[in-house]
């Protein structure tokens, strides 16, 4: 839907070649595009204005570097300015010397507080802390029950309170006592969602703050938030002096410009991002990646990092050798699919890729995860001999494999055909006919 | 008059009154930003147009629509058709109203109950709360209502709907957490037929529009509904959080593709966010806005009124 900022700038600067500098004239069109890109990413209007000023000053009269095209150079300046606002390094959580450290989780309704509380608890316990949770949301139906279920899922304690405890302050107080008694070092307080203009509820948060002197007050914000992000963040900060931000729902396709706005008005660091519905889908915030995403330039760094985690180097070298010598068996085929799957859902992988150049069509690629599961099941149902040499798989064996994997003979046939084609392509590739036949080649799960 | 799936009912207390009483607490004393800008000015200059642009973009109307509106104004100013700054607001309102009215079509009439209303949206948009309030509305019209707890994924979502069922005195058809949403829907529709209720409102799990498998699940639910009750779902409401920015358009697009959205509900409009992305959605996808949510009480769901909504954009 969005055209990449680099693509747009590329067009503007096409006629620029030969000019040695970025000048007022050629910069104006570029700045207009940058402005639109930032506004479409939901960066606040005022923040955009200031950013554009900064970029202008920096870019004007700057020598066009030999190594960079003007486009790259402008994008680089914008990128740097974004990072400057977002904070140049990720920041850590603070803890109290007198445990339990109380952390308040606050935010608007539906921003993702309860899920984030569960994720944060898990993250803490994996980083050698012993968290306890408590929900003081006595307003929304089944809110406390929700945290209880989440806590059960992450296998960490939650203070549920008694029937009589229906006041947020009481609940928090009992929970802190309970946490101290049972040796928990962090207490996460999940508060009710509220509008920043709701006087009574904002006062309630201020009371919680006064009574429990939390070491962290984390403002949970939805990555899809638009221009209003500044207003709510500003008000929460004014009332509570928030200490950090958790940006949720970053697994969608929102650009997340709200991050920039919130950071700009509160001056407080973004500490975590939520990247999925599973309770381990919480990551420390990376300013550089967020900046790329705001500009619609994908998140290659995250992708590479994940790929490095999942793919074994030695195996990769071995695979390459096999490919060249045409020893690529069904077993290798299965291993490859498994490695690919370790990267997580392919759709979220693809969404991290920049949509430029030859990769532009990638966004339309639909990955059928079930199909991949089926392929692995079929190969699993083969004997080692069959996997090593697919030529021995006759009709009877096919029927057995289909039965064993819960598929049909047709599906087994299809897989074998695709595998055969893949081998052919690889053979021709290794013989140097680079890419000619790649167009016809289709992986079974695409 | 309010259009419902079974015809029209009478209008109720004014939207603006309710809206104002809901948010008066902190807004007292503020005057319209635009009025402030316009006060004491006759000339239309660059500063004024900047300020107008700010107002529209701040409401999340989006760069495209905003640029288009301003372009229109500039042309008229250039041709000296607008001499007076005060006329500007009228012009903008007119243009926005045109967009919203063009997409405003009534829901289809359902001849044979039950009417099936599928409620969809991203996580945390306000689906379950909207359903509670919607149940109350239908009941107030004297209709029999059944709720279907097809959000079997999120922790305690079923319990949350159950509470709304108790509040409004409406029965909830439920299964265990983790059950197949289509199976719950199937159950609910059969119960609805047996009990001869007029409305079945279906709660679905929140999902980001980028998750292809979850969007496919909605397609399946649609098919299931159509098999049990011909023509169902009669209405598919996409709930949008008023704070949603430009991503709202993509949400509307993807949800329409998979679940055939027929109308929007703009939730949480009692904050400072204006939800202007609905203008872009109305324009590009021709989807009407059916209701707005303005609070957490059972009566806080009102029929959408385009003219009043546009006025609210210019209020602080």
Q: Are residues A112 and A228 in the same domain?
A: yes
Biggest alpha carbon distance in chain B? 68
Shortest CA distance from B132: residue in chain A? A141
CA distance B298 to chain A (A): 12
Q: A386-407 pLDDT, tens per residue?
A: 988 888 999 999 999 999 999 9
Would you say B251 and B237 are in contact if contact means Cβ atoms under 8 Å apart? no
The pLDDT assigned to A356 comes to 38
Q: Does residue A162 share a domain with residue A24?
A: no
Q: Considering only the beta carbons, identify the residue of A1, A36, A199 that sits closest to B26.
A: A199
Q: Which residues of chain B have pLDDT under 50?
A: 1, 11, 13, 15, 19-31
Distance CA B133, CA B128 (A): 9
Which of A149, A199, A226 shows the shortest C-beta gap to B243?
A226
Q: What integer is the mean pLDDT of A114-131? A: 96
- A74 plus A126 within the same structural domain: no
Task: Find the domain containing A270 and state its range.
Answer: 101-289
Q: For an interface test with B, give the residue of A138, A143, A227 to mutate (most B CBs within 10 A).
A: A227
Q: Where is average pLDDT lowest: A97-106, A212-221, A416-425, B306-315?
A: A416-425
CB A268 within 8 Å of CB A244: yes
Q: What number is the ipTM of this complex?
A: 0.86
Is B268 in contact with A40 (Cβ distance < 8 A)?
no
Q: Which residue of B has its CA nearest to A42?
A: B245
Whole-structure pTM value = 0.78
Q: Flag whether residue A364 sits within 8 Å of chain B, measured between CB atoms.
A: no
Asked if the Cβ–Cβ distance from A40 to B274 is below 8 Å, we say no
Do A331 and A405 lie in one domain? The reply is: yes
Which CATH number fits the domain that encloses residue A19? Answer: 1.20.120.140
* Contact by Cβ (8 Å): B188, B204: no
pLDDT bracket for residue A62 (50, 70, 90)? low
CB B180 within 8 A of CB B95: no
Instruction: Yes or no: say if B128 and B151 are a contact pair by the CB < 8 Å rule.
Output: yes
pLDDT beyond 50 at A137: yes
A260 and A206 housed in the same domain: yes
Q: Do A228 and B271 touch (CB under 8 A)?
A: yes
A40, A143, A222: residue with CB nearest B246: A40
CATH of residue A265's domain is 3.40.50.300
- Find the range with the poorest average confidence among A197-206, A232-241, A353-362, A413-422: A353-362
**pLDDT confidence tier of residue A323, bands split at 50, 70 and 90:** low
Judged by a CB distance cut-off of 8 A, whether residue A220 touches chain B is: no
DSSP state of A225: B
Which range is most confident: A73-77, A303-307, A394-398? A394-398
Please check whether residue A445 lies inside any domain of the structure: no
pLDDT exceeds 80 at position A10: no
- In Å, how far is A173's CA from the nearest CA of chain B? 24
- Asked if the C-beta of A347 comes within 8 angstroms of chain B's C-beta atoms, the answer is yes
Task: Report the alpha-carbon distance of residue A221 to residue A234 in Å, rounded.
Answer: 12
Residue A181: burial class (beta carbons within 10 Å; 0-12, 13-18, 19+): exposed
Instruction: Name which of A228, A348, A366 is nearest B272 (Cβ-Cβ).
Output: A228
Same domain (yes/no): A323, A432: yes
Residue A366: pLDDT over 80: no
Per-residue pLDDT, averaged over A413-425, amounts to 81
What CATH number corresponds to the domain at position A399? 1.10.260.30
Question: DSSP letter at A191?
Answer: P
Distance (Å, rounded) from C-alpha B164 to C-alpha B170?
8
* A82/A196 same-domain check: no
Interface test with A, best of B47, B155, B258 (most A CBs within 10 A): B155
% of chain A surpassing 70 pLDDT: 73
- Structural domain count of chain A: 3
Q: Sort A362 into a burial class: Cβ within 10 Å, 0-12 / 13-18 / 19+.
A: middle
The whole-angstrom separation of Cα A180 and Cα A159 is 12
Higher-confidence residue: A445 or A135? A135
Minimal Cα–Cα distance from A133 to chain B, Å? 15
Q: What does the mean pLDDT of chain A come to? A: 81
> What is the pLDDT averaged over residues A78-82?
87
Asked if A234 is an interface residue toward chain B (Cβ–Cβ < 8 A), one would say no
For chain A, positions 105-124, list CB contacts with chain B under 8 A. 108-112, 114
Q: Name which of B27, B63, B251 is nearest A40 (Cβ-Cβ).
A: B63
Residues A251 and A175 in one domain: yes
pLDDT of residue A58: 84
Claim to verify: residue A201 and residue A272 sit in the same structural domain:
yes
Residue A139 has pLDDT above 70, yes or no: yes
Which one of A39, A195, A227 has the shortest CB-CB distance to B270? A195
């Amino acid at each position: 839907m969005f055209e990449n900022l680099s693509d747009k700038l590329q067009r503007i600067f096409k006629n620029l070649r030969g000019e040695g500098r970025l000048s007022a004239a050629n910069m104006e069109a570029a700045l207009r595009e940058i402005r639109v890109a930032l506004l479409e990413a939901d960066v606040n209007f005022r923040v955009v204005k200031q950013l554009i000023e900064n970029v202008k000053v920096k870019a004007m009269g700057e020598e066009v570097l030999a190594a960079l095209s003007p486009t790259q150079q402008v994008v680089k300046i914008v990128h740097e300015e974004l990072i400057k606002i977002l904070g140049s390094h990720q920041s850590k959580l603070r803890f109290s010397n007198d445990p339990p450290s109380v952390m308040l989780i606050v935010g608007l309704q539906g921003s993702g507080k309860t899920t984030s509380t569960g994720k944060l608890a898990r993250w803490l316990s994996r980083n050698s802390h012993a968290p306890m949770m408590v929900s003081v949301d006595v307003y929304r139906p089944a809110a406390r029950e929700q945290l209880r279920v989440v806590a059960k899922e992450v296998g960490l304690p939650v203070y549920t309170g008694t029937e009589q405890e229906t006041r947020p302050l009481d609940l928090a107080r009992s929970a802190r006592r309970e946490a101290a008694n049972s040796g928990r070092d962090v207490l996460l307080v999940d508060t009710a969602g509220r509008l920043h203009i709701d006087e009574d509820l904002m006062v309630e948060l201020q009371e919680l703050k006064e009574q429990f002197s939390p070491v962290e007050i984390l403002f949970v914000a939805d990555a899809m938030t638009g221009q209003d992000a500044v207003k709510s963040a500003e008000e929460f900060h004014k009332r509570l002096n928030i200490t950090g931000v958790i940006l949720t729902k970053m697994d969608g396709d929102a650009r997340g410009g709200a991050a920039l706005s919130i950071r700009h008005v509160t001056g407080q660091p973004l500490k975590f991002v939520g990247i999925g519905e599973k309770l381990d889908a919480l990551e420390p915030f990376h300013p550089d990646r967020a900046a790329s995403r705001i500009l619609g330039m994908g998140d290659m760094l995250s992708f590479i990092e994940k790929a490095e985690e999942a793919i074994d180097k030695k195996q990769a070298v071995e695979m390459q050798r096999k490919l060249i010598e045409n020893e690529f068996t069904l077993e290798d085929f299965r291993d490859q699919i498994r490695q690919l799957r370790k990267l997580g859902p392919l759709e979220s992988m693809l969404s991290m890729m920049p949509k430029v150049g030859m990769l532009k069509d990638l966004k339309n690629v639909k990955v059928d995860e079930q199909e991949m599961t089926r392929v692995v099941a079929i190969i699993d149902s083969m004997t080692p001999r069959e996997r090593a040499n697919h030529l021995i798989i006759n009709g009877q064996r096919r029927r057995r494999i289909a039965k064993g994997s819960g598929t049909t003979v047709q599906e087994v046939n299809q897989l074998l055909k695709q595998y055969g084609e893949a081998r052919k392509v690889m053979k021709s590739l290794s013989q140097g006919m680079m890419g000619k036949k790649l167009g016809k080649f289709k992986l079974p799960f695409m | 008059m309010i259009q419902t799936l079974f015809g029209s009912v009478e209008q109720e207390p004014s939207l603006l009154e309710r809206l104002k009483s809901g948010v008066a607490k902190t807004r007292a004393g503020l005057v319209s930003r635009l009025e402030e800008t316009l006060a004491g000015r006759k000339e239309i200059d660059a500063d004024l147009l900047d300020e107008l642009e700010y107002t529209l973009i701040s409401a999340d109307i989006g760069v495209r629509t905003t640029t288009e509106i301003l372009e229109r104004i500039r042309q008229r100013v250039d041709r000296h058709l607008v001499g007076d700054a005060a006329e500007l607001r009228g012009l903008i309102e007119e243009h926005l109203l045109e967009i919203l009215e063009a997409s405003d079509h009534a829901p289809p009439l359902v001849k044979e109950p039950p009417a099936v209303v599928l409620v969809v949206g991203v996580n945390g948009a306000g689906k379950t709360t909207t359903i509670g309030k919607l149940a109350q509305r239908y009941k107030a019209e004297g209709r029999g209502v059944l709720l279907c707890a097809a959000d079997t994924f999120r922790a305690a979502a079923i319990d949350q709907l159950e509470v709304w069922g108790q509040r409004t005195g409406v029965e909830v058809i439920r299964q265990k957490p983790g059950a197949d949403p289509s199976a719950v829907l199937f159950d609910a529709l059969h119960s609805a037929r047996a009990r001869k209720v007029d409305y079945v409102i279906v709660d679905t799990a929140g999902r980001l529009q980028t998750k292809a498998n979850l969007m496919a699940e909605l397609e399946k639910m649609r098919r299931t509904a159509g098999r049990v009750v011909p023509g169902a779902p009669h209405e598919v409401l996409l709930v949008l959080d008023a704070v949603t920015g430009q991503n709202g358009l993509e949400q509307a697009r993807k949800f329409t593709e998979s679940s055939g959205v027929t109308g929007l509900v703009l939730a949480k409009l009692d904050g400072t966010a204006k939800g202007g992305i609905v203008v872009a959605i109305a324009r590009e996808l021709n989807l009407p806005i059916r209701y707005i949510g303005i609070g957490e009480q059972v009566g806080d769901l009102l029929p959408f009124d385009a003219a009043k909504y546009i006025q609210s954009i210019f209020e602080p």
